Structure 1
Amino acid sequence: MIDIYHESLAKYADGDRHIFTAKFLRPDDCKGIFTELTVDNEDNVVVKQIALHMTKAFKDLNLEEGDVIQFESIVKKNTRDEYTVERPTRAEKISSADNSDSKVHVIGNDWDWFEK
């Protein structure tokens, strides 16, 4: 079952700031899609995917797909009774995306075809 209301964040909705870690997936309009959200350096993933507002704290990091970030934020319940992460601060990039794939794939080794 998919947790679309992020009910697993309910126990963190105490008004205190918590440390979150997430992997950036992609930008989406004025929000960013993040995956593998964890709280307070726990090993278990609390939310598999969440959309967060791309605030100045996130925009300044120049995020690329696969970047892992850490930030402080609070959990609040919105008007639709969904739990969400709000007001992120102190965002920092923990690790950069693995850019080993240049998206250029070579088929065969006939690079000297133009010399023949």
Structure 2
Amino acid sequence: MAGDPLSRVFAALADPTRRDMVTRLAVADATVGELAEPYDVSVQAVSKHLRVLEDAGLVSRSRDAQRRPVHLEAEVFDLMTKWIERYRRQAEERYRRLDDVLRDMPDDVDPLPPPQEGQQS
């Protein structure tokens, strides 16, 4: 998947099945078979979902004897959090400025002037 890392992460998390897998991996590592259990899809389909998550850097796979656990790479969420936080702060600042404007408006000002004769309301 081409694009910047943040775009790959958001694209990977756009699918509800992949988001559910990430939620489950946040609790504990799991194998592909364990991740496939609650879904009515093949292990191959789950492997494709995991490949997308892996390409986005959200998960990694390791080898533990015969077991191949999938591990959530939680630090990738820091990238998302920083991006979201930046826009949250900008939105809060806009709301703060709007609050200031509204607070400074006189209470007796009619927000809409009455229609003039000949004009429709």
Same-fold call, TM > 0.5? Answer: no
Q: TM-score w.r.t. structure 2 length?
A: 0.29
Which protein has greater RCO, CA pairs closer than 8 Å, 6+ apart?
1
More helix as a share of residues:
2
